[in-house]
Structure 1
């Protein structure tokens, strides 16, 4: 059954597939059209669909991502649609808000979500926006036309009893200084909703608006720049060194297959965590790269020695914002540091690329290579929003549960790193 919440400037109603109508609190939404025009006002509808409905929303979502308050390639349809059925065993559904009227419809917001507990042993469920290890940024597509009012109407819709949703909303992996997080905070404050910020961290970003020729000198300094050149000479002693940028669809598809081969040849292959080791994940990755490359949204930077790839960096681009999505290198050349070399050379290329203004490293906060090279930082966190006036205690409890869960994951990551170092896997 599809549930639809219709919200307009008159008292709102909740419509179920059965045709039943129940009263809901009114919400003040100003009509976007001049009153002199004889036109029925658009109705804001919030619906919940099964995940496969995303296939029918590709064109609308494409339009929304270009109008979003903040760009995020991980929610572009060419990435999101192949990801949803392949990357998660949880039940993922779609919350969609649109303005409809007189034969037209405009998508205003989309959020894949799950309903799950946050405690170690489950506990009371929350409404959690979907993120995953292959898309480590949770910024959702939200129309930039009056986004605060859209967010407020979403909070009202989520409280409707017909939807039977939990009373706490969790928005993970947000850029806290980004426009989407700020919109959500403003809307919550306006309506007196309890908010907490959990899982705070930061990671490296590259400002790609400077001068390419000056980047390495300024980022590395004289001593590290000499070391960078020394390592290139070490590779050159093996064979001719070349750096390539794949941007066209044919080039990127070939370069991506080389990346997959590099990745499985290293520690991820030994640990059975390379993309190609899982048929669902590699199918998603190939489809996403293929779809995005057809729109000019993929760059793959490859460092070669004697014509053979020794390092690769896959970058995805959306509306000037890029993410360093995947990287791999040939461990037989470990002493020359091919991974850091390709990142440095790619940084120059991205600064020279007019389609790229900023690059999110998507790296862990303690990533040594990228932190030394990219000096910008992005603050990240999880917003926990109580959807009811009496949800304050629940918000605090969920925030604590999330923080404890993050700490457990960090301890496991450090343990895996130590084991990998002990057995020479990294």
Structure 2
């Protein structure tokens, strides 16, 4: 099975939680359409074209680069952000009394094409799609949440939580995406081999975020001071990635206690267990379960599953109190609830010949997922052999 053979094979459309108005209000809202752009780069390009700071734009979430996506962003009403270029456009959609943020969408509509299927694969996936339509899938955070971390690699966020700042810095400087170009992998390997020799590392670290931290280390500053140069958004990403990792392990532990018939799915930074189907009672229990993300002062986990979190934290060598980070000024961890399972709405699919791979089949999917659920996790749940 192949996905994302071309961007049109993976289409995403944000669904706003509240309709926009056409009468002037405090914030203008724009519809951003992009192809082969990630969200941050696309918004930065538009901001530069209008001489606006990126921080003055507000959006609901990031969307995949290798996709055709439609999402929204807002800015103050006096700024016109209309934009059009190859594979990227922003058009006025309406007004809003408040700026957009993660809570501004109710969900996302997906249109996805699964390609290069033989008859047996197509039949098996069709059966599993029926199961997923009924029972949904475990609502794990997927690979996109974890950024540049090698499979099974160390998480910078965990090292920060453990106050092992030197290891956190090395992780930030040397980790890379498994699909990174060979030249990037070679450069990161050279940085790792010369770690600690700050002056020698300077030519290997052209990225502004790395140079700022390296300058602190070269002057003899502490590792914590160097981390203080990390941009707010990146620090927040490292910490939230680790929080999401802990939540995934927590959900997996709950599934082990609640559900039989589990199977392994390939994930980063570690593989996870997904379920095939559920009894009526297990479905009811999991469909009602909202699990708080780990943080200091988090609410009690419902269903008597607090002991599962204790085991997860023990296995990682951390305490809940360590997730309070007063020494990190750029970001902090707060707890929020996330549903244990996700059930697609308006789910439909059809099979057809694959024009790109003659003699093979495609299955075209269309469905809506709640905000924060990953379509790629749904795909993993149906492509399980």
Pairwise same-fold verdict (TM > 0.5): no
TM-score (norm 2): 0.31
Larger Rg: 1
TM-score (norm 1): 0.28
